[in-house]
Each structure stands twice: as C-alpha cells, then as structure tokens.
C-alpha cells in the first residue's frame, strides 16, 4: 500500500511545480500574427488590433506601484516623440485596480503616448500577466516582434532603437 502511494505523491509534486510556471498563450509567438486584442484608452476609445494594421505598435503593460515601469516611461516617451510620425503607436496599458484610476490619469498626463486601462481591454491572447513591466512590439503587418513575457522585463532607449526601429523602416 505504501509503495502504491509513492507514484501518486510524485505526480502531485510535479503538478504542483508546473502550476507555478508562467502560463503562456499557445498562440503568442514571435514571428507569428498577434492574437486579436482591443485596448480601452483613457479617452474612452476602444482600439482593436485590426485598426492598428499598417502601424508599428508598442504595448507596454505597467502599474503605478511598479518602480521599474515608471523608470522606463521616459524612454518610451522620448522614442515615441522621435518616431510617431513614422507610424509608431505606443500604448501604456495600466494593470492597476479601479481605485488607482486617478493616479493613472495623473501619470499619463506627463506623456504624449496613449494610456489604456488593462481591466477594460481584451488582452487574453497575450497570456497570463505574471510580471510588470511587459512590453510587446507588433510590426505593420500585425506580426509579434517582441514578446514581453520573455527576456528582460524592462526596455530602455537602446533596446527600443534595436527592437522597434527596424520595423519602422519597413513599409
């Protein structure tokens, strides 16, 4: 009887360990079309992936309490200001609770790029949001070029130049 329990205990332990690994959407893969999504902006607009075709899109998931998120926002601002006329769209999607909406709006007033509310947006195809910040890059054809759930969680000016600029050059 004792021996029969051992495989079950090992299986339970293995399943427990797997449950703490980051969940990923099976369809989210660099080089493949992004899953359908929509963003609910701070201005009340609903913007879909289809509406953004033909533009290079940076989606940055952040929160007011996340110091790394706040540190990278000026780099996103600077990059956006230099490149928005080339067809760049940057969306800062707040993952905060509703109680932080005023703080989100106050912070986003400092930046020219678009703020959005995560809980009102449809981003399920991007997988479980297991860390912040997370930054995704989508090219003009709707192809995922940077998966924010892998690699370095933060972006800086150098990374933006390396990971976004090549896609701005393509038409």
Is residue 19 one of the residues assigned to a domain? no
Domain range for 105 is 25-169
Order across the sheet with 114-122: list the strands. Answer: 46-48, 38-41, 114-122, 88-94, 56-62, 134-138, 144-146
Quick check: is 107 in a domain?
yes
6-48 pLDDT, tens per residue? 555 555 554 554 444 444 444 689 999 999 999 999 999 999 9
For tokens 């998120």, name the residue: 69
Please check whether residue 20 lies inside any domain of the structure: no
Residue 126 domain flag: yes
Domain count, the chain: 1
pLDDT of residue 33: 96
Q: What is the CATH classification number for the domain harbouring 116?
A: 3.40.30.10
């Amino acid at each position: 009887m004792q021996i029969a329990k051992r495989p079950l205990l090992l299986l339970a332990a293995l399943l427990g360990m797997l449950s703490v690994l980051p969940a990923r959407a099976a369809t989210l893969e660099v080089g493949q079309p992004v899953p359908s999504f929509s963003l609910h902006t701070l201005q009340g607009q609903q913007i879909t992936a289809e509406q953004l075709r033909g533009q290079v899109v940076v989606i940055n998931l952040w929160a007011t309490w996340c110091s790394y998120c706040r540190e990278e926002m000026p780099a996103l601002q600077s990059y956006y200001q230099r490149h928005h006329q080339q067809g760049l769209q940057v969306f800062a999607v707040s993952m905060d609770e509703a109680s932080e909406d005023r703080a989100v709006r106050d912070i986003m007033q400092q930046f020219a790029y678009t703020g959005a509310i995560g809980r009102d947006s449809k981003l399920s195809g991007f997988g479980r949001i297991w860390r912040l910040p997370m930054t995704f890059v989508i090219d003009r054809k709707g192809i995922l070029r940077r998966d924010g759930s892998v690699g370095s969680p933060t972006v800086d000016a150098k990374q933006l130049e390396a990971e976004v600029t090549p896609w701005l050059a393509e038409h």
